[in-house]
Copies of this chain bind each other. A is one copy, B any other.
Amino acid sequence: MSAIFRSHLDKFIHLSDQEYQEILTFFEAHSVSKKEYLLQEGQVCKKHYFVLKGCLRKFFINEKGVEQTTEFAIENWWLTDHIAYERQLQSGFHIQAVEKADLLSISHSSQENLLQQHPKMERYFRYVYQRAFAASQMRIRYLYGLSREELYRHFNEHYPEFVQRVPQYLLASFLGFTPEYLSEIRSRNRS
């Protein structure tokens, strides 16, 4: 199972077998079932999760009581509430499994130790955050530049497998509009 993580790391840095084994000791493995929660609002955010298989989402509840999904994580992505994780504070987010999932997790203190003892991982995480930030910048650009309908079409063209993979109400929540409106767009596209 953790061969998946090894081949992911290999894309960014070169590690000996021994180094890899040492690095693995900093992580824990989890399996979670569909809809299981990994973090709930108000809890201290203890873990940074890496998805080996399956799908997670991060969301919050807005003033009207509606769930707003801000991020999905599928295979080879990290997920946490970065602000709450970094400072070990209470989180304003929920993290939940969308599908049953296999995960690795690392606690904040373990991550600190890992980075101290394995400077190569400093480089690895620099890449991870850089990539995540770049993706976030693109996301903001689309949120600003496109209407809700264009946003859906764009997403549908670029990530068709993902659109198949998650229920529509989660997709609507992620794109920032209502399931009703998504349904309307889809019917327009058909005719």
Stretch in contact with the other chain, from A4-12, A94-102, A139-147, A153-161: A139-147
Asked if residues A62 and B145 are in contact (CB atoms below 8 Å), the reply is yes
Majority SS at the chain A contact face? helix
Interface residues on A, range: 20 to 34
Q: How far is the CA of A129 from the CA of B139 in the complex (A)?
A: 16
Q: How far is the CA of A86 from the CA of B137 in the complex (A)?
A: 13
Q: How far is the CA of A186 from the CA of B107 in the complex (A)?
A: 45
Q: How far is the CA of A63 from the CA of B146 in the complex (A)?
A: 9
**Among candidates B62, B129, B141, residue contacting A126 with C-beta atoms closer than 8 Å:** B129
Q: A34 on the interface (CB 8 Å rule)? A: no
Q: A167 on the interface (CB 8 Å rule)? A: no
Q: A122 on the interface (CB 8 Å rule)? A: yes
Asked if residues B134 and A83 are in contact (CB atoms below 8 Å), the reply is yes
Asked if residues B133 and A82 are in contact (CB atoms below 8 Å), the reply is yes
Q: A130 on the interface (CB 8 Å rule)? A: yes
Q: A163 on the interface (CB 8 Å rule)? A: no
**Among candidates B63, B70, B126, B138, residue contacting A83 with C-beta atoms closer than 8 Å:** B138
Q: A123 on the interface (CB 8 Å rule)? A: yes
Q: How far is the CA of A113 from the CA of B133 in the complex (A)?
A: 22
Interface centre among A68, A134, A138, by most chain B C-beta atoms within 10 angstroms, is A134
Cβ distance A1 to chain B, nearest Cβ, rounded Å? 27
Q: A126-B129, A133-B129, A137-B83 are in contact. Are A176 and B119 (CB under 8 A)?
A: no
Give me the 4 closest cross-chain CB pairs, A-B, nearest first.
Answer: A129-B129, A126-B126, A136-B136, A82-B134
Pairs across A and B, CB under 8 Å, 12 listed: A70-B137, A82-B134, A83-B134, A83-B138, A92-B141, A119-B119, A119-B122, A125-B130, A126-B126, A133-B133, A133-B136, A136-B140
